[in-house]
Amino acid sequence: MAAEKKSRRRYTAEYRAEAARLVIDTGRPIAHVAQELGIGSQLLGRWVQAERDRDAGEPDGDLSLDERAELKRLRREVSELRKDNEFLGKAAGLLRVEATTIERFELMAAEKANFEVARMARLLRVSRSGYYQWAQRRVAGPSSRARRQASLDERVRALHEASDQVYGAPRITADLHQEGTAVNVKTVASSLRRQGLEGISPRSFSPVTTIPGVPTHHIPDRVSREWDTGELNRVWVSDITYLRTGEGWLYLCVVRDGCSRRVLGWAMDSHQDSDLVERALTMARTLRGDVPGQVVFHADRGTQYTSDQLHRAAKRLGVEQSMGRTGVCFDNAMAESFWSTLKHEFYHRHTWPTRAQARREVARWIEVVYNRRRRHSALGYQRPVEFETTKTQTDTGRVTKDQAA
């Protein structure tokens, strides 16, 4: 027995007109009225449109047929423009910013009971087919690609936060590679943009005026801008900078290894003199202990480095002094680049009421963040301490192999 066809529900003209008046006279959304009446929102929308056309009335009077047709066309055009304005009013909050395609589709889904999809697609400058495909995907649930993207976004956001919101795409990519996640830097950059995240790029350094000293001994330039010789403890570079606090200036001197970029020694005080440099150099020598070969200690020609006191300290600690040319800031560019990183990634993002607080937190940043956590682009995105450990193991293995041969 053939299945009985389901009878189609019929509505009288009076019923359609009364239903449409519920929307027109009260200003209520079509979707709400349709739900109360138990009919489709699109069907009610057509009734409302027909009733509004009737309200406009047929043109009468002594008008020609062409004039009547033109008047009817203009009324229809005005009605369409009113609908456009009504929708654009609802969409104004979204359109004030550069909305994504997904955000436009979400607005269309929310207003589809009140406005035609074609109208919204035209005004929002998206395609109808794209909207319908998106709606189907939303009903079916996120795709495997969308799930992978969401998972990557979550991990990228966590790594960016763990870096104190400093890392950009290259360093986060290196972190993901270390975790075993195969992803390229462009994909990570897209994830950061999608989430409105960005790293901090240190500005190129601006040379500061060095107070020149009168050297008591002849100190040549033993480096010639070749700070990285490929070996640890061959070139140490040093410089002094000033940090603003609520109590006045705090001066910081650091000593770094030219190969690993690790900060080996540092000292801070309320004034800058040769004692400050000697303390930082002594810390570096204490950390490294006895090293084979000669260590070159390179700095600019500031009075703290050209003093007789530092010359005696260098002799006592077994390091050989080196200095760039007078007035040529790029001869000590490696030291200057560290100040750019320190200030833009850390120091200038906070306020420091006291010297004691600044001294404590700067020391923590140097030892915990810079030396052990921050990835360095010149080291293949390894951390300085990690780079030294790997290099020492590699060099030891090479020497053992050569001895065995």
- Quote the CA–CA distance of 393 and 129 in Å, as a whole number: 60
In this prediction, residue 202 carries a pLDDT of 61
Res 136 pLDDT > 80: yes
Res 361 pLDDT > 50: yes
Mean pLDDT across 279-304:
89
Q: In what order do the strands lie in the sheet with 235-245?
A: 263-269, 248-257, 235-245, 295-299, 319-323
Shared-domain flag, residues 168 and 31 = no
Structure tokens at 149: 């993207």
Res 12 pLDDT > 90: no
Tens of pLDDT, residues 24-58? 877 788 988 888 888 988 999 989 888 887 766 65
Identify the CATH number of the domain in which residue 349 sits: 3.30.420.10
In this prediction, residue 245 carries a pLDDT of 93
The one-letter amino acid at 110: A
Identify whether 404 is part of a domain: no
Mean pLDDT across 233-250:
93
Tens of pLDDT, residues 166-223? 888 888 888 888 888 888 889 888 888 888 888 876 655 444 445 555 555 688 888 8
- Quote the CA–CA distance of 108 and 128 in Å, as a whole number: 10
Lowest mean pLDDT among 60-64, 111-115, 303-307: 60-64
Question: For the chain, what is the domain count?
Answer: 4
Q: Which residue has the tokens 């940043």?
A: 365
Res 15 pLDDT > 90: no
- Residue range(s) defining the domain that contains residue 157: 144-194
Shared-domain flag, residues 340 and 242 = yes
Shared-domain flag, residues 239 and 189 = no
- Quote the CA–CA distance of 93 and 133 in Å, as a whole number: 25
Shared-domain flag, residues 119 and 245 = no
Structure tokens at 371: 């030396």
Identify whether 333 is part of a domain: yes
DSSP state of 386: H
Identify any residues that bridge with 256 across adjacent strands, giving them in sequence order.
Answer: 237, 263
